[in-house]
Amino acid sequence: MQHDFFLSITFAQMSTSKKIKSLQELGEFGLIDRISKKIKSYQESTILGPSDDAGIVAHEKNTLVSSDLLIEGIHFDMTYTPLKHLGYKSVVVNLSDIYAMNAKPKQITVSLGFSSKYTLEAIDELYDGILLACKKYNVDIIGGDISSSPFGLIISVTALGENDENNIVKRSGAKENDLIVVSGDLGGAYLGLTILQREKEVWKSDPNMQPELDDFNYILQRQLKPEAREDVIQYLEKNKIMPTSMIDISDGLASEILHLCKQSEVGCQLYEEKIPIDQQTYNTAMDFNLNPSTCALNGGEDYELLFTINQKDFELVSKNTALSIIGHITKKESGYNLIGHGDTSIPITAQGWSHL
């Protein structure tokens, strides 16, 4: 398991003291020029990047389209979110949606709105993270919009992906007796957020003290710099495993398994003891007097893949240590159940994130 972290976190109020060149001085067109010069192209299917009224792509197969909106004060807190991580994450969460259709992301558009507290240096950092994610996942920026905002930062990303219609996996194809599989481990992103929120409270009472976060590297990375599971999609392709249904875990396992089951018109049985939880996630949950399974079920933002497979693919899936079989699909009438420690059966209900 990777426990590295490419930037250290400093708690701080946004400051304008490091202003190198003002955004007002540069202007909208100057900023667009500055960003455009940094944009590279990795995809043959990109015909025209961000220089015209619209970008142009030439996909030979079907095109997948997914959009997400990230808003300061709702989806992220600038007190502890490094801008480079935020830029990276804003791309990754969209790519995750494309992988969740069993497709490959190819292009994105990026629209930004930011208030006057954001310096040119801050926008550069944010864009460095965006460009790093593009390089890592081989996706091209082909358009977007830049605007000021009266309050904070707004990031809107749309991702385009590509695959044959026959190979696209929807939420709706799960069948009775299929196995339920999840990638990686769950609950970490939520506990990373819990740590950051606790330390923010400590820091607010004494702004001269910076928090000690070294013991929480893994879960902080899960929260601040998640990755999309390109490797899982590649493994499935290489081993000719076609999931019967798939979704990515942005709102928590409970919420997502209910989406899969409802759209597939089936029920499910999950086994609590099979849900993959990292040791650091587990220990941190215990420190906060939280049930680790509840964090995994309702925490959200893990960006792992949840999918169902036919039983014939059991062995191939079992071989991959990044994948856990956590239950199976049942008849719709059996409902949605979690078998707990000691064989208790509890109905699964969705908490998800409640941004409204």
Q: Does 265 bind a second copy (CB under 8 A)?
A: no
Q: Which helix (H) or strand (E) holds 146?
A: strand 140-148
Q: What are the backbone angles phi and psi of residue 339, rounded to the nearest 5°?
A: -90, 115
Residue 37 gets the label, from left (phi > 0), alpha (psi -120 to 50) or beta, of alpha
**Residue 77 and residue 25: Cα distance in Å, rounded?**
27
Amino acid at 6: F
Contact assessment for residue 276 and residue 324, using Cβ atoms and an 8 Å cutoff: yes
Q: Does 147 bind a second copy (CB under 8 A)?
A: yes
Site string for a second copy, 76-105 (x = CB under 8 A): ---------------------xx-xx-x--
Site string for a second copy, 276-315 (x = CB under 8 A): ----------------------------------------
Q: Which is nearer to a second copy, 76 or 190 (CB)?
A: 76
Which of 35, 43, 72, 233 lies at the binding interface for a second copy (CB under 8 A)?
A: 72
Q: Does 351 bind a second copy (CB under 8 A)?
A: no
Contact assessment for residue 39 and residue 131, using Cβ atoms and an 8 Å cutoff: yes
Number of residues that bind a second copy (CB under 8 A): 74
Q: What is the DSSP letter of 18?
A: T
Contact assessment for residue 310 and residue 244, using Cβ atoms and an 8 Å cutoff: yes
- CB of 299: closest distance to a second copy in angstroms? 16
Q: Does 253 bind a second copy (CB under 8 A)?
A: no
Task: Write the burial class of residue 185 (CB in 10 Å: 0-12 exposed, 13-18 middle, 19+ buried).
Answer: buried
Q: Which is nearer to a second copy, 65 or 209 (CB)?
A: 65
Q: Which of these ranges, 64-72, 224-232, 323-331, 336-344, lies near a second copy under the rule CB under 8 A?
A: 64-72
**Residue 336 and residue 329: Cα distance in Å, rounded?**
9
Site string for a second copy, 127-146 (x = CB under 8 A): ---------------xxxxx
Q: Which is nearer to a second copy, 143 or 292 (CB)?
A: 143
Residue 112 gets the label, from left (phi > 0), alpha (psi -120 to 50) or beta, of beta
Q: What is the DSSP letter of 76?
A: B
* Number of other CB atoms surrounding residue 112 within 10 Å: 24
- CB of 272: closest distance to a second copy in angstroms? 24
Q: Does 180 bind a second copy (CB under 8 A)?
A: no
Q: Does 170 bind a second copy (CB under 8 A)?
A: yes
Q: Which helix (H) or strand (E) holds 258?
A: helix 253-264
Q: Which is nearer to a second copy, 171 or 328 (CB)?
A: 171
Q: Does 242 bind a second copy (CB under 8 A)?
A: no
Q: Does 74 bind a second copy (CB under 8 A)?
A: yes
Binders of a second copy in range 23-62 (CB under 8 A) = 23-24, 26-29, 31, 47-48, 51-59, 62
